[in-house]
């Protein structure tokens, strides 16, 4: 029995196609039952996320025939009449297992190395397990995949550093403050990126949020949405003593905060550091404030450069991750009793996609 | 004690210093790499050094049937041992593991200084009488060890703070503790060190009363010790009451410990009580 996979992802198909083939959670158990009842496969797992729809299956049949049947099943069950030629990929061992390990480890994700996919794969596997759609072959493959993802997470730098501006802001706060649970965040100007950064900080436990904007109504709306407090724009400096992280993204043509304005406010903070994140273009905060003790200023270029560097570092780790995956797949395939080796339909990523649909 | 036949405690200490030296070289490599990923090698090198260092101290203690804190060699090795032992505890926390890269040069410096033959020329003969004085010396030297590690944490703070301001990518990707946590560690170490120093000085004063009938004598080392005590008191008060934290606090912790290390041996030699 060998493991095969048919699917499509953000790499091969646009969102309009992905959403047409996506499975809702409730649709998965009947789909698994119907797939097994067809006699095409003995075991199956359906992984359906916003970035991919994949059918993993263990089959006794000839892999090429099984893959053709799975493609038909996928399109028929989603009532997709369009002839998807390049969007779908079909893989058999060992590439199917390598692909599974790569997916679960976040190597095939839109944000390289992200961990959310591991949770989604676990959920998909649990769903199949509860539906009694898995057996010895897929159980072993998925458990090994989760194990490999953990190994990659601990032994490589694939998840190190933050690759988005919002998460870089959170990371920087973690470099300065002992815990975010005692930190108060202020949003100066209710821009979209500022809002994202504030949300990221709040999700990591930031204690309080103060929102200020030239339009008080907009500030009040955002504060209500995020569970914070709105203050009038002219009064924001009165709140500064309590603020640990200030995210500024106003449309002001000049500096909103400069050294002359900040210096008298610092003694009110009684030696506590303050992180200033300037997301505005043109900048809201005079770079000279970074020279003040206890003040740490980052503008949008700083944040982007950190995110780019982290991404570069992650990309440099891909070879190490692939090596681990190859070794672990080899180990899995050599487990007794030795599974029957299948010839591969495709050897390179570009050749993975099959025209049959 | 067990060990290689013919090896004296100084041989074991020399081996420990070699490990500290290797750790220092490795620290240069880590520094250049920007402390980007968790790394156990520095911890393992210092653990090996600390093992040999402990063996050297135990061997000397058992050989001479006393606590090895009676001359400059022993005092310096005891301070270094306190630093490395405290680091090994802190290093169990992953983000503090790189403290070793900052501690290794200090350990190497202390080790090389201790190995200077002049410091141990009286060999096994104690320069002052145990056991009350040994307890006094042990507390004081433990205090200097705690101050030493606080200085190391302060160095780490200064580097991290500077990187966060001017070398932002390096700071964001470094695997180091947060500034506030480093400051807390510095403060706690200084508090522990100050408590130990106070206790050590009180024991020393009690011993003086017992031996010479006075609580205080204008001896160079005693005056110097009181000055050190006062400097650390000012440092703690400034931090606690006046919130003088951050970079200035870190520089002050480093500067005060540098003063202690640079003047300790000199005042020891000037002291009639400590260097009869």
B168 CB near a chain A CB, below 8 Å?
yes
A247 and A180 part of one domain: yes
Q: What is the DSSP string of B222-270?
A: HHHHHHHHHHHHHHHHHHHHH---HHHHHHHHHHHHHHHHHHHHHHHHH
Residue B25: count other Cβ atoms within 10 Å of its Cβ.
12
Answer yes or no: are the C-beta atoms of B164 and A175 closer than 8 Å: yes
Compare B25 and A193 and report the one with higher pLDDT: B25
Which strands sit side by side in the sheet containing A208-213, from one edge to the other? A229-232, A208-213, A184-188, A245-248, A274-278, A295-299
| C-alpha span between A78 and B30 (Å, rounded) | 54
pLDDT for the residue A306: 87
CA A310 to chain B, closest CA, distance in angstroms equals 7
Q: Inter-chain contact B36–A313, Cβ cutoff 8 Å?
A: yes
Answer yes or no: are the C-beta atoms of A159 and A153 closer than 8 Å: yes
Contacts of A293 in chain B (CB under 8 A): 246-248
Evaluate the CA torsion angle B118, B121, B124, B128 in order and state its sign: negative
Helix (H, G, I), strand (E, B) or coil at B45: helix
CA B98 to chain A, closest CA, distance in angstroms equals 15
| Domain-located, residue A357 | no
| Domain-located, residue A89 | yes
Q: Which two tokens stand for residue A255?
A: 């500096």
pLDDT less than 50: residues of chain A: 338-357
Containing structural domain, residue A16? 2-158+317-352
Answer yes or no: are the C-beta atoms of A276 and A296 closer than 8 Å: yes
| C-alpha span between B206 and B204 (Å, rounded) | 5
Evaluate the CA torsion angle A308, A312, A317, A319 in order and state its sign: positive
Q: Inter-chain contact A178–B181, Cβ cutoff 8 Å?
A: yes
Nearest-CA neighbor of A5 among A116, A192, A206, A141?
A141
Q: Inter-chain contact A175–B160, Cβ cutoff 8 Å?
A: yes
| Domain-located, residue A15 | yes
B178 CB near a chain A CB, below 8 Å?
yes
Provide the number of structural domains found in chain A: 2
pLDDT for the residue B276: 53
The CA-atom distances, in angstroms, between A334 and each of A199, A341, A345, B269 are 47, 10, 20, 71
A7 and A143 part of one domain: yes
Give the closest of A172, A272, A293 to B172, CB-based: A172
A323 and A286 part of one domain: no
Helix (H, G, I), strand (E, B) or coil at B178: coil
Contacts of B160 in chain A (CB under 8 A): 175
Helix (H) or strand (E) holding B46: helix B41-64
Helix (H) or strand (E) holding A99: helix A95-104
A22 and A150 part of one domain: yes
Domain residue extents for chain B: 9-270
Compare B129 and A334 and report the one with higher pLDDT: A334
Site from A204, A273, A310 to mutate, B interface, most B CB atoms within 10 angstroms: A273
What part of B 10-49 touches A (C-beta under 8 Å)? 36-37
pLDDT for the residue B275: 63
B182 CB near a chain A CB, below 8 Å?
no
Contacts of B246 in chain A (CB under 8 A): 271, 273, 293-294
A122 and A215 part of one domain: no
State the average pLDDT for chain B.
Answer: 85
Contacts of B36 in chain A (CB under 8 A): 157, 160, 313
The CA-atom distances, in angstroms, between B103 and each of A12, A39, A303, B44, B108 are 52, 66, 31, 13, 9
Q: Which residue of A has its CA nearest to B166?
A: A290
How confident is residue B37, by pLDDT bands cut at 50, 70 and 90?
low
Residue A154: count other Cβ atoms within 10 Å of its Cβ.
9
Q: Inter-chain contact B172–A296, Cβ cutoff 8 Å?
A: no
A187 and A83 part of one domain: no
Task: Provide the ipTM.
Answer: 0.75
| Domain-located, residue A330 | yes
Read off the pLDDT of each residue in B210-232 and give the average, rounded to a whole number.
88
| C-alpha span between B225 and B219 (Å, rounded) | 10
Q: Which two tokens stand for residue A20?
A: 């047409």
A177 and A75 part of one domain: no
Q: Inter-chain contact B178–A177, Cβ cutoff 8 Å?
A: yes
| Antiparallel, parallel or unpaired: β A208-213 and A52-59 | unpaired
Beta-bridged to residue A56, according to DSSP, are A5, A45
- In degrees and rounded to multiples of 5, residue A166 shows phi and psi of -65, -45
Contacts of A158 in chain B (CB under 8 A): none
Give the closest of A171, A177, A290 to B180, CB-based: A177
Answer yes or no: are the C-beta atoms of A46 and A32 closer than 8 Å: yes
pLDDT for the residue A340: 43
- What CATH number did the domain enclosing A198 receive? 3.40.50.720
pLDDT for the residue A334: 77
Q: Inter-chain contact B164–A176, Cβ cutoff 8 Å?
A: yes
The CA-atom distances, in angstroms, between A282 and each of A168, B60, B98, B126 are 20, 68, 39, 71
Compare B266 and B112 and report the one with higher pLDDT: B112
A255 and A345 part of one domain: no
Q: What is the DSSP string of A161-225?
A: S--SHHHHHHHHHHHH-S-GGG-EEEEES--HHHHHHHHHHHHTT--EEEEEESSHHHHHHHHHH
A292 and A324 part of one domain: no
Beta-bridged to residue A247, according to DSSP, are A187, A277
Residue B42: count other Cβ atoms within 10 Å of its Cβ.
26
Known catalytic residue: A357?
no
B181 CB near a chain A CB, below 8 Å?
yes
Contacts of B172 in chain A (CB under 8 A): 161-162, 168, 171-172, 175, 306, 309-310
pLDDT for the residue A58: 93
Helix (H, G, I), strand (E, B) or coil at A351: helix
CA A268 to chain B, closest CA, distance in angstroms equals 11
CA A143 to chain B, closest CA, distance in angstroms equals 26
Give the closest of A157, A175, A302 to B178, CB-based: A175
Exposure string over A23-62, b if 16+ CB within 10 A, otherwise e = beeeebbebbeebbeeebbbbbbbbbbebbbbbbbbbebe
Q: Which residue of B has its CA nearest to A173?
A: B178
Q: Which residue of A has its CA nearest to B157?
A: A176
| Domain-located, residue A248 | yes
């Amino acid at each position: 029995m060998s493991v095969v996979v048919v699917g499509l992802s953000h790499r091969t198909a646009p969102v309009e196609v992905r959403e047409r083939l996506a499975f809702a959670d409730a649709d998965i158990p009947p789909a698994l039952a119907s797939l097994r009842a067809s006699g095409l496969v003995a075991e199956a797992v359906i992984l359906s996320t916003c970035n991919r729809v994949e059918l993993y299956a263990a089959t006794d049949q000839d892999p090429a025939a099984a893959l053709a049947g799975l493609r038909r099943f996928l399109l028929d069950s989603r009532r997709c009449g369009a002839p998807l030629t390049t969007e779908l990929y079909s893989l058999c061992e060992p590439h199917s297992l390598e692909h599974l390990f790569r997916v679960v480890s976040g190597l095939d994700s839109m944000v390289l190395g992200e961990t959310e996919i591991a949770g989604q794969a676990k959920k998909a596997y649990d769903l199949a397990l509860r539906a009694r759609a898995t057996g010895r072959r897929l159980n072993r493959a998925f458990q090994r995949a989760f194990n490999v993802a953990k190994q990659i997470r601990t032994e490589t730098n694939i998840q190190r550093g933050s690759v988005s501006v919002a998460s870089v802001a959170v990371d920087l706060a973690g470099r300065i403050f002992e815990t975010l649970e005692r930190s108060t965040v202020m949003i100066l100007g209710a821009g979209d990126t500022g809002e994202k950064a504030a949300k990221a900080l709040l999700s990591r436990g930031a204690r309080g949020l103060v929102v200020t904007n030239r339009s008080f109504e907009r500030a009040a709306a955002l504060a209500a949405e995020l569970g914070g407090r709105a203050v009038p724009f002219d009064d924001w400096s009165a709140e500064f003593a309590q603020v640990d992280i200030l995210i500024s993204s106003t449309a002001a043509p000049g500096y909103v905060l400069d050294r002359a304005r900040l210096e008298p406010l610092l003694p009110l903070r009684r030696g506590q550091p303050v992180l200033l994140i300037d997301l505005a273009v043109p900048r809201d905060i005079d770079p000279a404030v970074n020279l003040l003790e206890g003040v740490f200023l980052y503008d949008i270029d700083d944040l982007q450069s950190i995110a780019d560097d982290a991404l570069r570092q992650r990309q440099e780790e891909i070879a190490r991750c692939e090596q681990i995956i190859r070794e672990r797949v080899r180990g899995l395939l050599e487990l007794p009793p030795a599974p029957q080796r299948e010839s591969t339909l495709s050897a390179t990523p570009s050749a993975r996609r099959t025209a049959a649909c | 004690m067990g060990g290689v036949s013919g090896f004296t405690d100084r041989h074991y200490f020399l081996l420990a210093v070699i490990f500290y030296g290797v750790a220092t070289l490795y620290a240069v490599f880590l520094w250049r790499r920007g402390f980007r990923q968790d790394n156990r090698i520095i911890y393992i090198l210092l653990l090996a050094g600390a093992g040999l260092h402990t063996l050297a101290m135990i061997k000397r203690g058992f050989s001479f049937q006393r606590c090895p804190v009676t001359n400059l060699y022993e005092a310096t090795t005891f301070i270094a041992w306190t630093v490395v032992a405290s680091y090994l505890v802190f290093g169990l926390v992953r983000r503090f593991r790189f403290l070793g890269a900052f501690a290794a040069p200090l350990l190497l410096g202390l080790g090389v200084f201790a190995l200077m033959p002049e410091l141990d020329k009286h060999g096994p003969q104690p320069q002052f009488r145990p056991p009350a004085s040994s307890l006094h010396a042990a507390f004081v030297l433990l205090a200097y060890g705690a101050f030493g590690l606080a200085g190391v944490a302060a160095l780490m703070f200064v580097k991290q703070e500077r990187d966060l301001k001017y070398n932002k990518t390096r700071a964001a990707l470094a695997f180091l503790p947060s500034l506030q946590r480093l400051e807390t560690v510095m403060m706690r170490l200084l508090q522990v060190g100050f408590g130990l120093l106070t206790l050590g000085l009180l024991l020393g004063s009690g011993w003086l009363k017992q031996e010479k009938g006075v609580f205080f004598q204008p001896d160079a080392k005693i005056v110097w010790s009181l000055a050190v005590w006062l400097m650390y008191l000012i440092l703690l008060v400034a931090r606690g009451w006046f919130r003088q934290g951050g970079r200035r606090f870190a520089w002050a912790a480093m500067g005060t410990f540098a003063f202690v290390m640079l003047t300790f041996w000199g005042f020891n030699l000037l002291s009639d009580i400590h260097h009869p």
